């Protein structure tokens, strides 16, 4: 692999069998698979000055490994994804835990057996827990919106507490809307857990952190003789989208294109901008060993930020006397402002707009949108990897 900053004047797209736009999970997985399985020469164009997309991590000025674009915790049920990524990294056995700060008391999230007892007292908490077990069964995950639909008075009591103290204010901060107003799959990501497992991803068989970080994982994934990476290159500056073809650097391109950016940007937002939420992330380094007891504390009833992450608690890095934390402030995304489109907003009219853009790229020969942005989905890293593995299977099959 070669990582070049900028596109050399001698860049000739015809020397490559595939151009990949974006060096995040979606792009890097496709690049690696086509290079090693089909012997494709691949050019990866990445507009940032680094690889790894939103999973990028780096050492800050104090020597602490931080996640530049928010806390990333690897977790999956998908064995194929896990086997593929494990070729490029060892994993630590980090098990992510999150506490909600509810009026000053720290309670496990997902809300579980322990949280119930902290919220309602030992005895009443236990009674309510028994009711949940009777109704849903031990080990079950119950989305808050499903719990709210029950009309048993004890279940209503739990649902009202959790809705008000865990979901309502956090969701207002994160999305500018109440949990009833947003797609239920969003709050469904953090269901109530009927059990004692206090991990954020209860039951996920594979979870942890890449032992040397995400950027190192990507360096290995992209390290292949047939892959060239060009950072600091915005594909929009070298692409021209025609009716059925893409011109790259002024020439009609005949190879495959894997595109992992937002679809609306390809057309200068001419049908309207796809709405996103973005985040302001405020990093602070403190003169102390440890700031909080777990990786992330969610502020679900107070503060104007949603959560604080302490990186050393997740990476296991030992560095006495200093720790770096990060606060996340969510807001509406403004296109072409330099902000990052982090979260697609899952609403039917946004999906319809996305489908209209999708129809246009489906007319383009050998053009493949994939990933969290290009598919306009709320995907975790493992889901993106899975989607990229599926897409690469298809491209490989076409060239077999």
Q: What is the number of alpha carbons within 13 Å of residue 239 lying toward its C-beta?
A: 24
Residue 48 binds which of ligand UDP, ligand FAD, none (CB < 5-8 A, kind-dependent) = ligand FAD
Residue (211 or 346) nearer to ligand UDP, CB: 346
Residue 73 binds which of ligand UDP, ligand FAD, none (CB < 5-8 A, kind-dependent) = ligand FAD
Binding residues among 94-153 for ligand UDP as defined by CB under 6 A:
100, 109
The residue number with the shortest CB distance to ligand UDP is: 170
Binder among 298, 315, 324, 387 for ligand UDP (CB under 6 A): 298
Taking CA atoms, 300 is separated from 101, 107, 175, 366, in Å, by 6, 11, 13, 46
Size of interface with ligand UDP, in residues (CB under 6 A): 14
Chain centroid to CA 253: 31
Residue (53 or 202) nearer to ligand FAD, CB: 53
Binder among 85, 162, 166, 308 for ligand UDP (CB under 6 A): 166
Q: Which helix (H) or strand (E) holds 19?
A: strand 18-21
Would you state the structure tokens that stand for residue 341, as one six-digit string?
A: 């489109």
Give the angle 384-389-392 at the CA atoms, nearest 5°. Answer: 125
- 331 binds ligand UDP, rule: CB under 6 A: no
Query: Whole-number minimum distance, CB 108 to ligand FAD, in Å?
Result: 17
Please give the backbone phi and psi of residue 70, each rounded to the nearest 5 degrees, phi first: 105, 155
- 167 binds ligand UDP, rule: CB under 6 A: yes
Query: Whole-number minimum distance, CB 338 to ligand UDP, in Å?
Result: 21
* CB neighbour burial string for 145-177, b if at least 16 within 10 angstroms, e if fewer: bbbbeeeeebbeebbebbbebbbbbbbebbbee
Residue 300 binds which of ligand FAD, ligand UDP, none (CB < 5-8 A, kind-dependent) = ligand UDP
Residue 240 binds which of ligand UDP, ligand FAD, none (CB < 5-8 A, kind-dependent) = none
Which of helix, strand or coil describes residue 221? helix
d(CA 157, CA 122): 16
Query: Whole-number minimum distance, CB 186 to ligand UDP, in Å?
Result: 5
**Is 368 exposed, middle or buried, given 0-12, 13-18 or 19+ CB atoms closer than 10 A?**
buried
Binding residues among 169-198 for ligand UDP as defined by CB under 6 A:
170-171, 174-175, 186-187, 189-190
Residue (55 or 132) nearer to ligand FAD, CB: 55
Residue (124 or 224) nearer to ligand FAD, CB: 224
Q: What is the secondary structure of 227-276 as a DSSP string?
A: EEEEES--HHHHEEE-SS-EEETTEE--SEEEE-S-HHHHTTTTT-PPPE
- 165 binds ligand UDP, rule: CB under 6 A: no
Q: At what angle do helices 153-162 and 122-136 cross, to 10 degrees?
A: 110
Q: Where along the sequence are the contacts to ligand FAD (CB under 6 A)? A: 21-27, 45-48, 53-55, 69-73, 234-236, 260-261, 279, 342, 371-373, 379-382, 384
Residue (237 or 284) nearer to ligand FAD, CB: 237
Query: Measuring CA to CA, which residue among 142, 199, 191 is closest to residue 166?
Result: 191
Binder among 38, 89, 215, 300 for ligand UDP (CB under 6 A): 300
Dihedral sign, Cα of residue 28, residue 356, residue 185, residue 336: positive
Residue (133 or 204) nearer to ligand FAD, CB: 204
Residue (3 or 106) nearer to ligand UDP, CB: 106
Query: Measuring CA to CA, which residue among 325, 326, 334, 327 is closest to residue 278?
Result: 334
Which of helix, strand or coil describes residue 389? helix
Query: Measuring CA to CA, which residue among 222, 176, 179 is closest to residue 46?
Result: 222
Residue (38 or 165) nearer to ligand UDP, CB: 165
Query: Whole-number minimum distance, CB 307 to ligand UDP, in Å?
Result: 8
d(CA 394, CA 376): 20
Residue (92 or 301) nearer to ligand UDP, CB: 301
Binding site for ligand UDP (CB under 6 A): 100, 109, 166-167, 170-171, 174-175, 186-187, 189-190, 298, 300
């Amino acid at each position: 692999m070669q990582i070049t900053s900028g596109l050399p004047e001698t860049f000739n797209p015809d020397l490559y069998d595939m151009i990949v736009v974006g060096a995040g999970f979606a792009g890097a997985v496709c690049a690696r698979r086509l290079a090693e399985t089909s012997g494709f020469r691949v050019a990866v164009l990445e507009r940032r000055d680094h690889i790894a997309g939103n999973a990028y991590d780096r050492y800050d000025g104090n020597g602490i490994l931080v996640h530049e674009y928010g806390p990333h915790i690897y977790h999956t049920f998908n064995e194929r994804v896990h086997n593929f990524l494990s070729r490029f990294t060892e994993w630590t056995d980090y098990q992510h835990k999150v506490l909600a700060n509810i009026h000053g008391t720290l309670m496990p999230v997902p809300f579980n057996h322990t949280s119930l007892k902290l919220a309602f007292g030992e005895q009443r908490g236990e009674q309510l827990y028994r009711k949940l077990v009777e109704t849903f069964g031990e080990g079950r995950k119950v989305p808050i919106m499903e719990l709210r639909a029950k009309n048993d008075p004890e279940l209503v009591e739990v649902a009202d507490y959790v809705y008000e103290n865990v979901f309502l204010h956090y969701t207002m901060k994160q999305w500018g809307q109440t949990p009833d107003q947003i797609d239920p799959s969003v709050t469904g990501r953090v269901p109530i857990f009927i059990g004692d497992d206090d991990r954020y991803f209860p039951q996920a068989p594979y979870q942890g952190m890449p032992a040397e970080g995400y950027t190192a994982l990507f360096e290995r994934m992209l390290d292949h003789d047939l892959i060239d990476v060009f950072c600091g290159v915005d594909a929009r500056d070298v692409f021209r989208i025609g009716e059925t073809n893409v011109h790259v650097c002024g020439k009609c391109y005949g190879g495959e294109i894997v595109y992992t950016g937002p679809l609306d940007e390809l057309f200068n937002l001419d049908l309207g901008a796809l709405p996103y939420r973005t985040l302001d992330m405020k990093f602070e380094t403190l003169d102390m060993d440890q700031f909080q007891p777990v990786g992330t504390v969610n502020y679900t009833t107070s503060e104007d930020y949603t959560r604080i992450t302490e990186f050393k608690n997740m990476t296991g890095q030992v560095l006495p006397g200093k720790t770096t934390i990060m606060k996340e402030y969510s807001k509406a995304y403004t296109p072409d402002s330099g902000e990052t489109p982090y979260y697609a907003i899952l609403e039917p009219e946004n999906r319809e707009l996305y489908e209209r853009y999708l129809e246009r790229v489906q007319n383009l020969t050998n053009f493949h949108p994939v990933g969290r942005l290009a598919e306009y989905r709320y995907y975790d890293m493992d889901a993106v990897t899975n989607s990229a593995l599926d897409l690469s299977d298809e491209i490989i099959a076409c060239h077999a």
